[in-house]
Chain A
């Protein structure tokens, strides 16, 4: 790693497993090819720059258990040039990894707190490491609720894991925008903020972690404000274009913030202090 290019030079990793999630999203498990990756540890909420050699590099959040020792996973929605190219790879294919980068979720603040997790669509992927952590450290925190919304029942990510999360004492509330005819759906229908009336979470001693489309996070922040939550207790994870991940390419800037290194997780109060409206 001592070459001139080292900061921008990815380390090779191999696809060890491919887990189909939904019609446009897949989870890939990666292990590093050589010993270079042995020191790889990440915080929940951090991301990697993922390279498909010949196509390019994209910022992808890490979706696996931070304590899992053998590599890491990315849950990838195939909507961009790099993420579509990933679909052409198979087990054993080589990708490049740089990272982990960015600030994670404020896990140090969670101890003793109630936790409300609000996710939309692929936004559940960067929150899954926290759910693993909370499942493991369940006694260290108070009430834990997950509100998750997707377009249709078929678009729900990690559906096989909800019962496991419930067993760990995490309350899981689900909603979808549409229920196609002939589909059995016993949960809510409508936007994720519609679940606020059914949740137990109150502002008292609660930290909110949210990730999803910006329009969703905007209404989450507004809806929670109406219920007495303050901007200081809400944390959001933002998406921006990134070419470097380390505050050099400039592409992800919002005001004076580099989303790649000052974020992607921000306290909502921090965003409100910027001259431009973010959410």
Chain B
């Protein structure tokens, strides 16, 4: 139900506005009056979604971030509650600030929509829901494409159709701002952005066409379900068993991975503590281990196959969508160069020169 509401909100009004780049600072400062702002900022050689104090911290010319914006909705470490070891739960309340997730690329917005389904269908995750309802998304279309991007294959980019409150497109000296929700329309009014002529949409399309020609990677999704079902015993899985280090990096950087572990952290006095959940990874040895030591996915090939099959086959019956948005982070981060698109190419026999139907 909540999802339907989010989607409806994105269709309420489609306004257009212009944000000249020299006015970005003022725009951010106005946002900060009502929200905490998180956006892409430089860190070492890469980018992260960081706390934004000023537009000077923002770097909107980024390709991708190390961790996806998921961390702002489903934190790497989250306290579930505090307890007394003999008495039980210690009641407590938390206040959450309103936040703007600024500069999300289309793939990451699609990933947030997938997480909405994961965490809010059937049993609602109270932590995710609370943060999600306090979050606005100011997305940013991709006018250039990264080395590992394949969003076009997954239908999640380089442009965005919905799922945003505001959507920016870099037109050179200014951003075209499209309104996707009532909250977004209010932001445009509050920040005093000027309306944009329709011709700006033509400029936007030209830039996106340019981006669409820039993809170096693709993943052909045509008939993928049958392909995966028939290749559960493909020799590639044995090879990957020897190649993969099972370090879990691919899942840590994935914008749609949702698994977690739960631990009780006890205080020094052994009387009180807190229950905490932490991101977990199906690639790690202990993930599927139960009491007495039995491990349902002991072998690395079984674990890596689980990751790939989950993303490309199992999400569909679970959540009605594929679990991969083509952000390329798992490829970027893998020290052994394991490439999801390469795995599918090899299963298809594409590397042997077989012709592949497009779709």
CB distance from B314 to the nearest CB of A (A): 4
* Bound Cα distance A96, B87 (Å): 10
B348 at the interface (CB under 8 A from A): no
For B84, the closest partner residue in chain A by CB is: A53
CB-CB under 8 A from A241, the residues of chain B are: 287-290, 296
Given A4-B126, A243-B262, A244-B262, also A275-B229 (CB < 8 A): yes
Interface residues of A in 32-84 (CB under 8 A from B): 33, 53-58, 79-81, 83
Residue of B83, B123, B266, B287 near A248 (CB, 8 A) is B123
CB-CB under 8 A from B229, the residues of chain A are: 275
For A243, the closest partner residue in chain B by CB is: B262
Contact B262 A249, beta carbon cutoff 8 Å: yes
Q: Could you tell me the dominant secondary structure of chain B's interface residues?
A: mixed
Contact A248 B88, beta carbon cutoff 8 Å: no
* Bound Cα distance A23, B126 (Å): 41
B37 at the interface (CB under 8 A from A): no
CB-CB under 8 A from B125, the residues of chain A are: 7, 248
A138 at the interface (CB under 8 A from B): no
Contact A8 B81, beta carbon cutoff 8 Å: yes
Given A250-B282, A256-B314, A276-B232, also A7-B126 (CB < 8 A): yes
CB-CB under 8 A from A276, the residues of chain B are: 232
For A252, the closest partner residue in chain B by CB is: B288
CB-CB under 8 A from B309, the residues of chain A are: 255, 275
Contact B292 A53, beta carbon cutoff 8 Å: no
Contact B263 A3, beta carbon cutoff 8 Å: no
Contact B92 A3, beta carbon cutoff 8 Å: yes
CB-CB under 8 A from A261, the residues of chain B are: 122-123
B261 at the interface (CB under 8 A from A): yes
* Bound Cα distance A239, B296 (Å): 10
Which interface class (under 10, 10 to 19, 20 to 34, 35 or more) fits A? 35 or more
B260 at the interface (CB under 8 A from A): yes
For B82, the closest partner residue in chain A by CB is: A5
Of B168-176, B209-217, B239-247, B270-278, the stretch lying at the interface with chain A is B270-278
Contact B260 A7, beta carbon cutoff 8 Å: no
CB-CB under 8 A from B263, the residues of chain A are: 56
Contact B81 A248, beta carbon cutoff 8 Å: no
* Bound Cα distance A3, B130 (Å): 11
B75 at the interface (CB under 8 A from A): no
CB distance from B132 to the nearest CB of A (A): 13
* Bound Cα distance A3, B93 (Å): 7
CB-CB under 8 A from A250, the residues of chain B are: 258-260, 280, 282
CB-CB under 8 A from A139, the residues of chain B are: none
CB-CB under 8 A from B266, the residues of chain A are: 54
Residue among B89, B288, B306 with most chain A CB within 10 A: B89
For A278, the closest partner residue in chain B by CB is: B296
Interface residues of A in 239-279 (CB under 8 A from B): 239-241, 243-244, 246-251, 253, 255-256, 258, 261, 275-276
CB distance from B309 to the nearest CB of A (A): 7
A12 at the interface (CB under 8 A from B): yes
Q: Interface on A for B, CB 8 Å cutoff?
A: 3-10, 12, 33, 53-58, 79-81, 83, 93-94, 96, 239-241, 243-244, 246-251, 253, 255-256, 258, 261, 275-276
Name the 10 nearest CB pairs between A and B, nearest first. A80-B291, A250-B259, A12-B88, A246-B123, A256-B314, A54-B85, A256-B317, A243-B262, A79-B291, A5-B81
A-B residue pairs in contact (CB < 8 Å), sample of 5 = A7-B126, A53-B84, A54-B83, A96-B89, A243-B277
